[in-house]
Chain A
Amino acid sequence: MIDGGPVIDFHGHVGRWDTVGMVDDPATMLRAMDRVGIDRSCVFDIFHPDGTRGNDRTAAFVALNPERFVGFAYVSPLMADRVVPELERAVDDLGFRAVKLYPPYTPYPLNDPIWDPVYEFANDRGLAVLSHTDTSEQSQPGLLAQAAHRFPKARFVAGHSGNIEPARGQAIAAAQRCPNFYLETCSTYRSPGVIEELVREAGADRVLFGSDTPLMDPRAQIGKIITADLTDEEKRMVLGGNAIRLLGL
């Protein structure tokens, strides 16, 4: 909690990425969360295309501190026949609350029909889909917006809000066009005024705080929200109010 308001980190990882110093040590992650008042962090493992191995690791990680971490299901169209069964297992058996996609690990743009089973599943269940977005051919927010238009009962979240221009502009335009499209804030690019722009253009109710922990320290990423020129109420919505609503926490 910060100033009486809940804080949910919408973007975190399970697993190791050693060359960039990413280690999913729960104690280190919790210490950073506690220091800045983060109540819960949403986590997923994107390193295993079968989905199962990573989702099992995520479940085990969440089980250590179930009141502090929320699991998201990861699936990949690289092993397309496993997508729906794995989503069913992850949501129904493991209790995961949303779906994570990472198109840079595939050759498929987000509007390729190969992703449709994921979108249909989320649409049927009313789930959120958090996808990495950036300027690359596979991951442009405008492509995710096409899915948002076709699957109105699912909620689509542009991870990193496209990261940089022109993808960030696409993400904002998608949020303006699609009522089920949201913008998530974590990014190594911390251009001045970006958080303010997201809130001003998309609305405070459509922006979600995320950190990319443990790749990036949530204490730095939450600093983008705290030091932004926003009202206290806008900050509360971005920091946690919107995520609670989206995930049904």
Chain B
Amino acid sequence: MECVGEIAQKDLFRLHEDSLIFSARVPVFDANVGVGHRHDRPATFESAADLLKEMDRHGVERALIYPVQGESISSIDGNQALKAWLGDDRLSPQWMLGTDGDSLSRLRELRSGGHVTCVRLHDAGARVPLVEWVYGESLDWLSAEGIPLWISLVDAEAREVVELLRHFPDLDVALLGAHYVHASLVRGMLRELPRARLELSRYEVLGDAEALVQEFGAGRFLYGSYYPRYAMGPMLYYLHQLDFTEAELAAVCAGNLEGLLGEGPKT
């Protein structure tokens, strides 16, 4: 049962905004933005300035950006291309980890230069199984360095993700792109992987984001848009309409990501 104070606070947030216009009311750090043209999917924007303009339209202050070329063609080429997108403090780089043996050594070089705060693994098209005997060395290194890993559930089998990550209990992980097809899986994944966070760009099962936050705590969830694969605004609007406290909303929209990247307290 809620106490009187909580009811009063939540009732304020329960009032719908009654407006045809939306902009975020808490600081927002988007955990999932791709840059560049994918080989099979041209982007809707060509430059950092265009991306910043879209972020401004929705009230997004910062974005973690990764090169989409690294999703299925080349993490090495993608990481090289990512450098051209950097320079504005509002855009933070996320480097890609690939299956090529050279990929890890280049990430190590970037890390020694102080440039790596998180890494992303995609497997789209490569059909490489997510197993310890393929990715073990890389994930050992990430664990030892305290570098969090992003994995997209759009491209990976949930069972493989869980089985692989069980071998790396010290590794912080962001699971991206869960969809309603994962509705029966997300609770098991969060229980099996206590250091995993769930990014919410595609997860819109009615009422379940609120239920998950109640069950696991707001610290396990991240706002990401998956822009430009998906529009930037709708899920951010959605998060603002959930029965979250302001503290929970702020944590999901930015604070949890800052903690993962070492910019604030880790949740």
Contact = CB atoms under 8 A, between A and B. Distances in A.
A32 B227 contact: no
B47 to A, nearest CB: 15
Contacts of B165: none
Contacts of B236: 223, 227
Contact of B230 (A190, A219, A232): A190
B88 interface: no
B263 interface: no
Contacts of A23: 206
B37 interface: no
A220 B236 CA distance: 8
B230 A220 contact: no
Nearest to B15: A35
A192 interface: yes
Given A2-B18, A3-B20, A223 B229 contact: no
User: Chain B interface mostly helix, strand, loop or mixed?
Assistant: loop
A36 B16 contact: yes
Given A29-B206, A188-B202, A220 B235 contact: yes
A23 B241 CA distance: 20
Contacts of A20: 180-181, 183-184, 205
A229 B234 CA distance: 12
Interface stretch (A60-68, A80-88, A144-152, A210-218): A210-218
A215 B206 contact: yes
B229 A21 contact: no
Interface in A161-191: 188-191
A69 to B, nearest CB: 15
A77 to B, nearest CB: 27
A190 B234 contact: yes
B234 A224 contact: yes
A185 to B, nearest CB: 11
Contacts of B195: none
B180 A215 contact: yes
Interface string A15-31: 00011111101001101
Contacts of B233: 223-224, 226-228
Interface string A191-227: 1111000000000000000000111111111111011
A202 B21 CA distance: 23
A236 interface: yes
Nearest to B228: A192
Interface string B179-193: 111011000000000
B12 to A, nearest CB: 13
B204 interface: yes
Given A213-B206, A214-B206, A191 B231 contact: yes
Nearest to B207: A28
B205 A21 contact: yes
Interface in A1-55: 1-3, 5, 18-23, 25, 28-29, 31-32, 34-37
B141 interface: no
A229 B22 CA distance: 11
Interface in B159-207: 179-181, 183-184, 202, 204-207
Interface of A: 1-3, 5, 18-23, 25, 28-29, 31-32, 34-37, 188-194, 213-224, 226-229, 232, 235-236
15 contacts: A2-B20, A20-B183, A20-B184, A22-B180, A35-B16, A190-B230, A192-B54, A192-B228, A215-B205, A216-B206, A217-B208, A217-B209, A219-B238, A223-B237, A226-B233
